[in-house]
Copies of this chain bind each other. A is one copy, B any other.
Amino acid sequence: MPPTDRIRDHAGQGATTVAAHRTRRRLRADRARQLADLLRRQLLTDAYPDGTLPHEDALATDYGASRNTVREALDLLRAEGLVARQPGVGTVVVARKYPHGLDRLMGLAETLHEHGRVTNEVRTMGPVPAPAPVAERLQVAPASDVLYIERLRRLNAIPLSLDLTYLPLDIGSALLGADLENTDVFRLLESVTGRSLGHAEITLEAVTADAHSAAVLEAPRGAAVLMLERLTHLADGRPVDLEFIRFRGDRIAMSGLLRRSL
């Protein structure tokens, strides 16, 4: 074989090897994701009540996966801050995601009452002139004052969410002396108006936390945040509460039920 052919041949083999290697790596990454999703579900449903995941070999057998795939799947969950490797123990659960209902309009303390005590650190509270989109949604005159409240909300002292809240001033001013540290705004609204809440329009997004929001939530820089925008109305239809809520992605999962026909 002339030398050039040998070189070409060699290069061809090299390319095949690189391609094969890439395919293998892609397949392993795909399988790792697939397994990580199943394990994430197990974590969400508290399938490991003692806080320890089965040994890698057991996971490999249970899920028909290779040891490498299992390790890569656990790496993914570790990067999400859900598990950690503990020498001599194995893989342990380090973060718990709390279930937040998507079926019924509820305040945070209300929805999490089984899981512990919600406390609110009021970072800012006071009247501000309503920016146009706020005035429009709360149906108040543009630039008229609304009550702005900023709260860092914790469950059992662990930061869960950062909430920015706008309330019409006639209702909001009644909240100025209220125990906001220990009470959901929803409950306060129902108590000061003597009426019950009706419905809320919500929008959910996944957003990367900016450095400052991450610091406030004590989350790693660049952590994913579940962003909830919610406009709540009284039962008579009046909009009374516009909120922008950043939930720590590693601490909250929203669950609900959808129907095919309404």
Chain A residues near B (Cβ < 8 Å) = 26, 29-30, 32-34, 37-38, 41-42, 44, 47, 62-64, 76, 79-80, 97, 102-105, 123-124, 128-129, 131-134, 148, 150, 164, 196-208, 210, 212-213, 222-227, 229-230, 235, 244, 247, 249, 252-262
Extra inter-chain contacts (6) besides given A202-B256, A205-B253, CB under 8 Å: A197-B260, A201-B255, A201-B257, A208-B208, A208-B224, A230-B258
A213-B33 contact in complex given A64-B129, A102-B258, A202-B256, C-beta closer than 8 Å: yes
In the bound complex, residues from chain B placing their C-beta under 8 Å from that of A200 are 257-258
Cα(A44)–Cα(B63), bound, Å: 41
In the bound complex, residues from chain B placing their C-beta under 8 Å from that of A260 are 104-105, 196-199, 235
**A202 CB, min distance to chain B CBs, angstroms:** 6
Cα(A80)–Cα(B205), bound, Å: 11
**10 sample A-B contacts, Cβ–Cβ < 8 Å, listed by A number:** A30-B212, A34-B150, A44-B203, A104-B258, A105-B258, A200-B258, A203-B254, A204-B204, A206-B227, A235-B260
Q: Indicate if the CB atoms of B29 and A206 lie closer than 8 Å.
A: no
A134 (CB) vs chain B CBs: closest residue = B38
Q: Indicate if the CB atoms of B247 and A206 lie closer than 8 Å.
A: yes
In the bound complex, residues from chain B placing their C-beta under 8 Å from that of A206 are 206-207, 224-227, 247, 249
Cα(A224)–Cα(B214), bound, Å: 13
Cα(A226)–Cα(B228), bound, Å: 12
